[in-house]
Structure 1
């Protein structure tokens, strides 16, 4: 009898323990889901949403779920360029591509080459609704542009981490090739950090190479993983025939997210510089330097007053990693640096004279300060004929003035006909004070007719007014 009671008690204790663990495991928790820009778009009451696991290297049974997630978030982009002033002599040039919705309130990323020089940009959604797009900003160095449509409650794609991609992993390309709306193709990651020199060494190339088929019209579309996350923007293909031949290239999400965040917040990319020139390592150079392997990023030159110089880097140092991530090639190095802003501190591991060393560098901008400045090429600025940037803190202190500095003047433009020169500092427009480029853009966008610009040159005494017509 006692033995029976003991067994019953043990069974009861085990049952209560299992029941408690079940309730603890399935305890409902309210979860708030935000889009890529922090806007609340959903609430859920199931902790399973937080514990979903994903094996990126696994072979999926099908691609239905990620394809459905992406189709409603990928749009067709039509860019129209108008040439000629006379109505009868006007010519229209149309470019078709794709774009990806990044937020529920209508931010869309695409390739810059899709919308370059466009006067009108339109987006066609999966539900066949059409919207006019506002240009938020663009970055030629990465061939990316950020657009905005006036809508709420849109489906969008969340960013995945392209740094975690593995060669051989399944991916899907979603876009509008040959105007075939919402086409989905599948392939694998063929390589990472690929440089194909389409920017002629003037941009940042660290592409994801895939064999997912893309063609004309896919540019600006989504490359997603099998979890439906955005891990790249389809940008280019290598081909002899002009059509897909097995080599497709996408800008990785690690670069895309940084660029679009900067464009949204500042109107231009806040690019960080280490202040060194770098090259790939070959076997001969590796042997000369005593490297036990062929790899790393060779420091070719070090700029005076640059971040690298201050961190103690020297020519012939070999950078092995940044913040623990390998830099075995120049594209890997450029990709990692491009994810930072001026003022960010990075940990650099490098090889010098047979030894591995570490140093910390504070990244700077092109002017060798840590201020957030960038050359602005907003449409209204380009239309009148110049590009501008904000003054940095050193310049403001030296000049005892705020303002916007003229970086370049476009040939045969309205500004060029005023005889304005580079390095002119704009302090007012139509007697309205301007402290930065945002002020210039706002005043020009809200004005028409005759424009009077006032300012000065640091090297020349006196004030210099210039006049032009917007119309």
Structure 2
């Protein structure tokens, strides 16, 4: 009797083991999908998705890749760098960053369609890191990117960047406006004021591409990232469109942008901080400049006397050089501004004409 019970138990155990061993094979035989599976209903896209898709489909055809070439060869030269650009008008002008074209001797633009067109630089503005090219074809180009405004932007607004990161064309990234009124140094030796900070992914190759709002309007030109590794770290910067909309027509019409200044050499800001000075120290005055005619004084090294300190322009405070250049750039060349200065610890005002100091600004840092 006991032997029989043992055999039954062993049989049950054997059956269970067989089931465990054979179960995957049985499941595969009974439940394998040997035909295409039916597509599940997706439902409507979310409003945010529809907005993002519309922005990309509307603007992407107007975004191009800009390739700078050097030297001569079978293909017209060797690549010296590349970035992004976008169509500005129906005449074939393309806006990009100055640093994208700075090292090139010839240029080509690749449209979203894949067509490659030769292009020439018509103007550069290193002080703003902006440049304009013109493709050598007038008709059949995509529509220009719609222009918005940066004056009324709010932190938290949606921001879209379209570009060619690492040469991967027509890439869209989305984020928000992370901060406003940042300052960005440029190769021209100045700082661009009111720069937009965004967390939309911007990587090498995105330079010169458009930053867009949720309506698909241009609100900035992507120009730089802050990253120790050189790749996106969630902090990117864009030149505000209000600056772009002022500079680009000048580049198209004249090939350059007037640089408003008064003809001074500014003292080192580190020295000013060490001296506890809040303002711009006048280290020197350019001979024949409006600053000299107005009576501004620079540092007298022999006497050990510090120069005049500019503390305000038109009663608006000036704490550092970028404050001064920003205020002068909002004044038309030929106009006169009232400076408030400190001399011998006394405050006084001087009227100074604003002139176009041209390329000397880049070399000598004259505001």
Q: Distance in 2 between matches of 1:122 and 1:137?
A: 16
Counterpart CA distance in 1 for 2:149 and 2:120 is: 28
1:82 maps to 2:71: yes
CA offset digits 1:6-26 (Å, max 9, x no partner): xxxxxxxxxxxxxxxxxxxxx
Q: Could you give the per-residue CA deviations for residues 358-386 of structure 1, whole angstroms, max 9, x where no partner exists? A: 665321133xxxxxx769xxxxxxxxxxx
CA displacement at 1:63 relative to structure 2 = 4.0
Paired position in structure 2 for 1:73: 62
Are residues 1:103 and 2:89 paired?
A: yes
Do the aligned partners of residues 279 and 246 (structure 1) sit closer, same or farther apart at CA in structure 2, a change above 3 Å counting? farther
- For structure 2, the residue ranges without an aligned partner over 5 or more in a row are 1-47, 298-306, 361-367
Q: Deviations over 1:277-316 (max 9, x none)?
A: 4469799869966xxxxx6555554444323444565644
Q: Which structure would you say has the larger Rg?
A: 2
**1:442 is matched with which residue?**
none
Q: Which residue of 2 aligns with 1:155?
A: 143
The two structures, once aligned, show a CA RMSD in angstroms of 4.0
In 1: Cα distance, 2:147 partner to 2:274 partner = 37
CA distance in 1, matches of 2:338, 2:59: 37
Deviation at 1:221, TM superposition (A): 0.7
Select 2:324's aligned residue among 318, 323, 333.
Answer: 333
1:348 positional shift: 4.2
Whole-angstrom distance in 2 between the partners of 1:162 and 1:223: 11
> CA 1:334/1:243 → structure 2, altered by over 3 Å: closer, same or farther?
same
Taking the aligned partners of 1:61 and 1:298, their CA distance within structure 2 comes to 53
Partner residue of 1:115 out of 101, 123, 126 = 101
Flag the 1:176–1:325 CA change in 2: closer, same or farther, 3 A.
farther
Cα distance in 1 for residues equivalent to 2:283 and 2:225: 31
1:350 to 326, 340, 349: 340
Is 2:182 the counterpart of 1:190?
no
**Equivalent of 1:363 in 324, 332, 354:** 354
Q: Where do residues 108-257 of structure 1 align in structure 2 (5 Å cutoff)? A: 108-149=94-135, 150-152=137-139, 154-185=142-173, 186-195=175-184, 197=185, 199=187, 202-206=189-193, 207-257=195-245
TM-score normalised according to structure 2 size = 0.65
The number of residue pairs the alignment matches comes to 299
- Mapped to 1, the partners of 2:313 and 2:81 lie a distance apart of 40
Q: Distance in 1 between matches of 2:145 and 2:207?
A: 17
Structure 1 Cα separation of the partners of residues 163 and 261 of structure 2: 34
Q: 1:184 to 1:234 in 2, by over 3 A?
A: same
- In 2, are the aligned partners of 1:299 and 1:319 still within 8 Å (CA)? no
Equivalence map 1:252-401=2 (5 Å) = 252-278=240-266, 297=280, 299-311=282-294, 315-321=307-313, 327-338=318-329, 342-343=333-334, 345-348=335-338, 350=340, 352=342, 360-366=351-357
**CA distance in structure 2 between the partners assigned to 1:65 and 1:320 by the alignment:** 46
Aligned to 2:40: none
Once the two structures are superposed, residues 402-442 of structure 1 have per-residue CA deviations (whole angstroms, 9 ceiling, x without a partner) of xxxxxxxxxxxxxxxxxxxxxxxxxxxxxxxxxxxxxxxxx
- Cα-to-partner distance string for 1:162-206 (whole Å, 9 max, x where unaligned): 3544555443222111233222222314242424x563x734444
Change (3 A) 1:275 1:148: same
* 2:7 aligned residue: none
Once the two structures are superposed, what CA deviation does each residue of 1:245-295 show, in whole Å capped at 9, x if it has no partner? Answer: 122122333443343222211223322222234469799869966xxxxx6
CA contact (8 A) 2:190 2:322 kept: no
Q: How far apart are the structure 2 equivalents of 1:298 and 1:164? A: 33
Residue 216 of structure 1 and its aligned partner are, at CA, apart by: 1.5
Change (3 A) 1:325 1:73: farther
Give the corresponding residue for 2:28.
none
CA gap 1:119/1:316 in 2 versus in 1, 3 angstroms: closer
SS in 1 for 2:206: coil
SS of residue paired to 1:239? coil
Distance 1:169 1:132 in 2: 37
> How far, CA to CA, are the matches of 2:271 and 2:102 in structure 1?
41
Deviates further, 252-261 or 230-239:
252-261
Deviations 1:34-92 (A, max 9, x none): xxxxxxxxxxxxxxxxxxxxxxxxx99954554444323321222232357xx69x972
Counterparts of 2:249 and 2:269 in 1: how far apart (Å)? 33
Shift of 1:210: 2.5
Asked whether the 8 Å contact 1:166–1:189 carries over to 2, the reply is no
Contact 2:310–2:340 (CA under 8 A) maintained in structure 1: yes
Given that residues 106 and 154 in structure 1 are in contact (C-alpha distance below 8 angstroms), is that contact kept between their aligned partners in structure 2?
no
Residue pair 1:190, 1:211 contacting (<8 A) in 2 also: no
* 1:99 to partner: Cα distance: 0.4
Distance in 1 (CA, whole Å) between partners of 2:349 and 2:149 is 26
Partners of 1:183 and 1:329 in 2: CA distance: 38
1:311-361 CA distance string (max 9 Å, x none): 565644344456x87655433433443455632x15446364899876653
